[in-house]
Each structure stands twice: as structure tokens, then as C-alpha cells.
Chain A
Amino acid sequence: MAVRTPHFPDLLFGSAARLRAWEGALMGLLAAQGYRELHPSLVLREAVPEGGLRFFDGDELVALRWDFTVSLAGLLARSFPEPPPRVSYAGAVFRRPVQPWEAVERFEVGCERIQSDDEDGAGADLELARLLMAIPGALGLKSAILHLGNAALVRKPLEAEGLFGELASAVVAALSRRAPHRVAEVMDGHPAAARMTAHAQALLSDLDGTKTLDALSSSPYAHLLQGEREHLQRTLQDLLPILPPNLELRMDLADVAGLDFYTGPTLRLWAPGAQQELAAGGRYDSLFPGLGRPWKAAGFCVRLSRLLDLAATRPDLFEQP
């Protein structure tokens, strides 16, 4: 896709200071929890997908780092026989924007929790959720909303019904629009149409706490998804007692963003009035096996560029320094 409005942000004094302060605060928070920084090269020499910012260095085609998780996965798989359990990162990624207002250069801070495949992932998922709960306070956000989801709630029923390719993509697109009537439209005539539509209605029935999980019992795939429901229930039970006063916890069962990447629990951080999520992550257990390593992984990324934009347009959402 052509870049219509290249946006390489120059940060003036206030924004530069804020970026530096946020990076420091977040990396300090992660270090205190045992996360050690890795810094993959800004220049990549391997094949990069569409969306990377590529150029010639002499005769050699190279690209700028476009995604920390992918860059780190390559580095870890190449350099470590055993997975370092906790890794953090900070810096810029460069990506061709999908929306015309998006920047090409984006600042991020994030962390990854990597395990061998015989370790239990549930504890790591909870650890990451707790960490993400601390992020709004470290950034000075007055209030925030943490959405908990699980990619398996959609993946598993699609696989159970043998739905792949274009039809599966159309169902996912309808769920992304939060439109169960669209699921019915795209599944019209398929033997699983009634089941998938009922499932979509269950996923989209509510956004509020335990009632949302109750709604899952009305899904035709309730039995198939029992493990995911219990995982979400446990997560709620663990997180609600330690919820900071200005953070709201919500279930978002129809979170299908990045469904081709995420394999389990997902996390998204919003601020009231923000037009884009400020941090996102989840479990992606198929990444390292694809690189020849039998490791599981989960993590999240804080999108500092979006936070800088938000601080410029909605300073009322932040504590004054």
C-alpha cells in the first residue's frame, strides 16, 4: 500500500521530555519485575512483510525494524538455547500506515514472557495482566479501562466447524464489527450458520464483568470453551481485589484483533475518550514453534506514540506533572 501522508514525527521539548520520562518509568517498572532489556537491531536483513519500510543499502535490500515481537523472536531463537523468561524492549518501529493519520515512526515499550512448552502459561498470563494494570499509574493517566479477552473463543469454534479461508475471514470481520446479524448474513446457507450466529450473539451480549461470562453459557460451543471461561473467571477473581481505584476491568469476548497471531488470552488498555487502544497484547504460542523453538510466549506493547498524541489532544486525561 502506498504511503499517502508520510508522518515522521519531530518531538518538540514537551513531547520529547514526556517520551523520555515514560520510557524510563515503564522500563523501571518492568525491570523491578525481573524483565531484562534486549535491543534488536534497527536494521533488518531478513525478508520483511508488506508494510515494512524498505530501502537499499548499496546493493542490499534492508528494512527498518517494523515489529519488536517479531524482531525479538528472531533474535531469541538464533541466540539462546533456552528461553530467557522475561524480556523487555523500548524504541521505535517503522511501519507503513494503514490509516492515513498514522505515523510511520512509532515509539513503543513492551515486554515478553517466554516459557518452555511444558510450563504452565496461566501464571504468566496473570503476571502480564497485573503488570499492565500498573501501566496507567506509571504514565499518569487519570483513569483507564483494561479489556480482557481470549482469541480461542473465536478460533476454537471456527476450527471445530472446519471454517477456514474466506468464510472464516468474513465471520471474523463481522465479529470485529460487533455485528451478529452480519455473521448470519455471511454464514447464510452453511450448516453451522445457526450455531455461529448464536455464538456471535453470546460473545457480543454484554461487556460487563461476570454477566458476560454467564452469557457464554448460552453459546452452542459452551462446552468446547469451558477451559477459556474458567481461565477468564480465575483472572477476574485474581485481579478484581487488587484493582487500582482509577482502573476499570471489562471482559471483551469478541476481541478478534490480531486473531491470526494471538492464540489465547488478550489484553487491551483504553483511556476514556481515547480513539485508539493505548496498549495491547496477549498470548501467541505459535510464534516460536514456527522458528524451530518449542517455546510458549505472551506479552504486551505500550504504544507511546498514541499516548503522546492523546496527551497533546486530551491533556485533561493525564495528571499534571
Chain B
Amino acid sequence: MPSTLLIAFPKGRLGDELVPLLAQTPLALDAAALKSRVLRIPTATPGVAALLLKGADLPRYVAAGVACLGIVGSDTLDELDMDLLELADLGFGACRLSLCALAGVSLDSLRAKPHLRLATKFPKATEAWLTREGLTAELVPLSSSAELAPLLGLADAIVDLVQTGGTLKAHGLVETAVLGRSSARLVAGRGAYLSEPGRIRPLAESLIQALRLPPA
């Protein structure tokens, strides 16, 4: 039996919210290790360590059984559609997946375009929305800094995550439609959870207890 249980935690926006929430809990991350460049961090619980991973990679580590649990945004889960158990909606990291365009560009004017171009790193959610709306569009795949695309003529609009709207405002963009909502989810590998429930469930429950925000 592997001696150390690994939990996959996200780097970036979700990770920045996660680390303070874990402080003072049995799964608090080792502060000295966090300041270093190592990506495997001890927690306050012996035998449990955290892996710091990019959101897009994280589900693969959990699905393959390398990490028994993970925390990842529901937007990432929906895009990857991997075989994972989703044990809880933790509530934090809440944001909207929105269609955003330059101020003054309306949703109707975007609909009326004969050749609509949308830049996004969420092609699956964007295609689903286009289908629901009866629209067609050329998707421009981007992995970051999508806000630049409408400014520089790469696309007519973007589909991206919006939390406070500050980045949009800084680039002269506004939300024209909300496609969906995202928040942090606790995920587990199907095999790990079903074959070793006695080991994994207590850990999952302590994470939920430490992290779940009350419903708004």
C-alpha cells in the first residue's frame, strides 16, 4: 500500500484562494515548502502531501490514481470530461463563464455577424452555448490573455472566466452574456474512492469541512 496519500491542488487563481482557507486546518500546507519551488508540499497531517499542478493537468493525475483527491474548477472539468468522481461543490473560486466584447458591442450585433469569431480556451462550453443559441462561429483557440483578442482584431468577442470584472474593465470589455458558472470542486479518482473508501473518505470529508463555503 502506498504510504503517502497525495492530494492535487491547483496553482494560479484557485490555488491563491485555497492556501489561506487551508491554514490552521489539518491539511495546512507547509509554509517553507510553499516558498520554495518544489511542487510536492507536505501538509500538517503526516502521510498526506499536496501536489501543486496546473488546472488543466490536475484531473489527469487524479484519474490515473496518482493523486487520490484533487481540487479543480468546474469549468476545467467540463472541458476535459474525464472519468472522475465530483464529491462536492466547495463554493469558493466562484466565477462566471461569459461572452465578452468591446464596450458598445451588443449581443444582437454579434448574433448578426455573418462570420462570428470567438476566442476562448473553453471550446466545449462555447460550442454548447452556440448550439443552444442556434449560432455558428469560428473558434479561435487561446490558452491565456484572451482579453487582447478583441482589442487587436483577432476575434469579435471572447468567452472567458469573469470573477470581479476588473481585467475586462481594464481592457475596455463588457460581459454581453453569461454562458455558465464555475466554482471549485473536490474530485476523486473512481478507483481510489471505490476500492479504498476507508482511506479516502475521511480525507475527503476533512477537506470538505475545511473548505466548503456556505451557500450564498
Contact = CB atoms under 8 A, between A and B. Distances in A.
Nearest to A275: B191
Interface in A254-288: 268, 270-277
Contacts of A252: 194
Given A273-B1, A276-B191, A181 B196 contact: no
Contacts of B83: 99
Contact of B84 (A145, A177, A207, A250): A177
B86 interface: yes
A252, A275, A316: most-surrounded residue (chain B CB, <10 A) = A275
Given A207-B197, A272-B196, A275-B65, A178 B87 contact: yes
Contacts of A207: 197, 201
A297 to B, nearest CB: 25
Contact of A273 (B85, B89, B190, B196): B196
Interface residues of A, number: 21
Interface in B184-204: 185, 189-197, 201
A296 interface: no
A125 B53 CA distance: 45
A145 B64 CA distance: 20
Interface residues of B, number: 22
Contacts of A181: 86, 88-89
B200 to A, nearest CB: 11
A252, A276, A316: most-surrounded residue (chain B CB, <10 A) = A276
A181 B208 CA distance: 14
Q: Binding site of A, secondary structure by majority: helix, strand, loop or mixed?
A: loop
A274 B86 contact: no
Contacts of A270: 191, 194-195
B117 to A, nearest CB: 28
A145 B195 contact: yes
A72 B134 CA distance: 45
A178 B86 contact: yes
A178, A252, A271, A276: most-surrounded residue (chain B CB, <10 A) = A178
B87 to A, nearest CB: 6
A181 B192 CA distance: 21
A147 interface: yes
A179 interface: yes
A201 B88 CA distance: 12
A272 B195 contact: yes
A101 to B, nearest CB: 9
Given A207-B197, A273-B195, A273-B196, A179 B86 contact: yes
B27 to A, nearest CB: 21
B86 A250 contact: no
Contact of B192 (A99, A145, A275): A275
A200 to B, nearest CB: 12
A18 interface: no
A272 B88 CA distance: 23
Contacts of B194: 145, 147, 252, 268, 270, 277
A276 B191 CA distance: 5
Nearest to B189: A275
Interface string A53-91: 000000000000000000000000000000000000000
Interface string A230-244: 000000000000000
A215 B211 CA distance: 25
A155 interface: no
A273 B197 CA distance: 10
B87 A179 contact: yes
Nearest to A252: B194
Contacts of B87: 178-179
A178 B85 contact: yes
24 contacts: A99-B83, A145-B194, A145-B195, A147-B194, A178-B86, A179-B86, A179-B87, A182-B86, A207-B197, A250-B197, A252-B194, A270-B191, A271-B195, A272-B1, A272-B195, A272-B196, A273-B2, A273-B195, A273-B196, A274-B195, A275-B64, A275-B190, A275-B192, A275-B195
Given A179-B87, A268-B194, A275-B189, 18 more contacts: A145-B194, A145-B195, A178-B85, A178-B87, A178-B193, A179-B86, A179-B89, A179-B185, A252-B194, A270-B195, A272-B1, A272-B196, A273-B195, A273-B196, A275-B65, A275-B190, A275-B192, A316-B1
Q: Which 8 A-B pairs have the closest CB atoms?
A: A275-B191, A179-B86, A270-B195, A177-B86, A181-B89, A275-B65, A178-B85, A274-B195
